[in-house]
Amino acid sequence: MTLTKAQIIEEIRQRNGFSRKKSIETVEAMLEIMKESLASGENVLISGFGKFCVKEKRERKGRNPATGDAMMLAPRRVITFNCSGKLRKKING
């Protein structure tokens, strides 16, 4: 089962006694801050959870899967996630 944004909002509402509107605003604000930081190239570290890192990918050779033709893939940025030791321990019991 996948945890959705709506479920996170509901959990915050129940655990903190916030109104639904306040819970939505809180989650949206947090996600917006994270998106802006990552888009500007900054990493996002959440202690006890993990770190979202922006990585630069160089231009590289690739292949069109439909035709098999060789092509150059443009440079791009990707986001990776490294979980914290605490999270790893909790997942692995």
H or E element that contains 80: strand 76-83
Percent of the chain with pLDDT over 90: 97
Mean pLDDT within 9-20: 95
The CA distance from 17 to 50, in Å, is 26
The CA distance from 35 to 29, in Å, is 10
Q: For residue 79, what is the domain's CATH number?
A: 4.10.520.10
* Residues 49, 85 share a domain: yes
* Residues 56, 74 share a domain: yes
**pLDDT of the residue at 1:** 82
The 10s digit of each residue's pLDDT in 26-65 is 999 999 999 999 999 999 999 999 999 999 999 999 999 9
Beta strands 50-57 and 44-46 are antiparallel
* Domain encompassing residue 10: 1-40
**pLDDT of the residue at 91:** 94
